[in-house]
Each structure stands twice: as C-alpha cells, then as structure tokens.
Structure 1
Amino acid sequence: MPLSAHHLRASVAVSDIARAVAFYEGRLGLPSLRATPSGRIADGGRIYGSGGGPALNVYQSPTAGTSEATLATWYVDDLDQIVDELTAAGVEFARYPGLVHDARGTTPRAGGGRIAWFRDPDGNTFAVEADV
C-alpha cells in the first residue's frame, strides 16, 4: 500500500514539554489527544488534534528549534479572525524583511492568498494561511 493511503502527522521537537504544553494548549488551543513517551522521558510528548484527527506530535528533544523552515501550516477560511484570536491569546506573529505585512502581521502569499507566521517558545515556525 503506498504512503499516500496513510494519514500524515507533523512532528515538532521542543526543549521543555511543560512549556510547550502551555503554548500549544493554552495559546493555540489545541486539544491534547494523549501523552506519549519521548526518549527517556515517560511523559515527554503530546499528540495534538486539529481538523478532526491527530495532526501534530510534539516531543521533548535536544534538537528543538534547529530548523528555520516552516514546519506546519494551518489552512483557514478566515485568516484575519484566526490571527486576531491567536494574538488575543498572546501569540506573536513574525515579520520578515523584504515582505510587506499588514497591521496583523499577514502578508500576500506567492500565487495568491495571504499568510502569517508565528513561532513556538523554541523558535519552531508555523503558518496560518488562506486563499483569499
């Protein structure tokens, strides 16, 4: 059976699972579906739900925050509403040199639509984007 027949879940390394839980659950509002082990840490990971199923594996690791690339993107219908809700929850949106950002921190996306980026406490980058 090809990989395309199976669900895909993003995995993100964090340096402190307790701090990550406060961010992913408290600020992003993601539901924790279950705690998982991470390396030698019995309760060092979490599986978070999004879009109706398991979507994000967050685990404690010494490699946390080492990628500058966007690790996962939420595709949303109303970008302004989502950005406003996350901002009210204390999420700060990144602004990149050379891009024009509006007051919320959103910018036009290549090919149309708009996008906004934010980082978790370890510097892992995520995006929210919309086609309009």
Structure 2
Amino acid sequence: MITATMVVATIPVTDLERAKAFYGDVLGLALLWETPAGARFSCGSASEISVFKRPPVSTEHTLAHFEVDDIEAVVQDLAARGVVFLDYTEGPLATTGHIAQLGPARGAWFRDPDGNTLGLRQG
C-alpha cells in the first residue's frame, strides 16, 4: 500500500519556457521551483503539477483536472486570458457554455500549448 502526502500530476511539454508562461501566467499557478528539465507549480493547499521537457508525445485523455468551487467563473476567467475550451455537441460530454453536466458534477476541458488536455470539475 502506498501512503502519500500528495499526488502530483506530471505533464510532458516540448518547450519549458512556453509551458511556464502558460501554467504560471495564464492559469495563474505559483511556480515552486524549476530545473533545466522541468518546473513544479502549486495548485492549492496540497496539490501540485510538474511539467517536464521531452520530445513530442500524443495523449487522448485528460492528464489532470482542477477541482473548483465555481466552474462558470473559472471558465470565464480563463477564456478572458485566452484559454480555448473544447466543446462537444454529442454524447455524455455535450457542453453548453463550455461546460458539460456529468451526473451531479460538471466539467470543462482545454489544452495546454503542447496539446495536453486539462480539465475543470465542480461537484
């Protein structure tokens, strides 16, 4: 059994400076530390995201999502900062105003500059 104080999402990026600008400036995460190969950001009281430099890779799933209290406000804020949300017209992820109803929860998705899918979730 693993006993951990925290789980950190680790996301591959091709351009570390561009990733630091996106995660730090656009998403507003606090840079904790960096090395020539990566950077770590705080996402709240006990959550962190690491980005690490590597050649291009392709993923088809959400690599990390942020649990938020007011998804509409966060979507509006990020859209104003230039974040482009993924909208779906069919199936269980059909979005209205960039937000999908998922049972009692709601979600929204966007990509970082490397095409990694990130999400927001409320509920």
Number of aligned residue pairs: give it: 121
Matches within 5 A, 1:82-121: 82-98=74-90, 99-103=93-97, 105-109=98-102, 111-121=103-113
Give the superposed CA RMSD.
1.5
| TM-score normalized with structure 1 length | 0.84
Partner of 2:19: 20
SS in 2 for 1:121: coil
Unaligned runs of 5+ in 2: none
Does structure 1 conserve the Cα–Cα contact (< 8 Å) formed by 2:13 and 2:114? yes
- How far has the Cα of 1:51 moved from its partner? 1.5
Unaligned runs of 5+ in 1: 37-42
Cα deviation 1:53-76 (Å, max 9, x = unaligned): 451110110144x11110011111
Partner residue of 2:114 out of 106, 111, 122? 122
Structure with greater Cα Rg: 1
Partner of 2:48: 55
In structure 2, give the amino acid aligned to 1:28: L
Does structure 2 conserve the Cα–Cα contact (< 8 Å) formed by 1:117 and 1:128? yes
Matches within 5 A, 1:27-66: 27-36=26-35, 43-53=36-46, 55-64=48-57, 66=58
* In 1, Cα distance between equivalents of 2:94 and 2:47: 34
* In 2, Cα distance between equivalents of 1:3 and 1:93: 35
Identity of aligned residues (%): 37
| TM-score normalized with structure 2 length | 0.90
- How far has the Cα of 1:97 moved from its partner? 4.3
In structure 2, give the amino acid aligned to 1:27: V
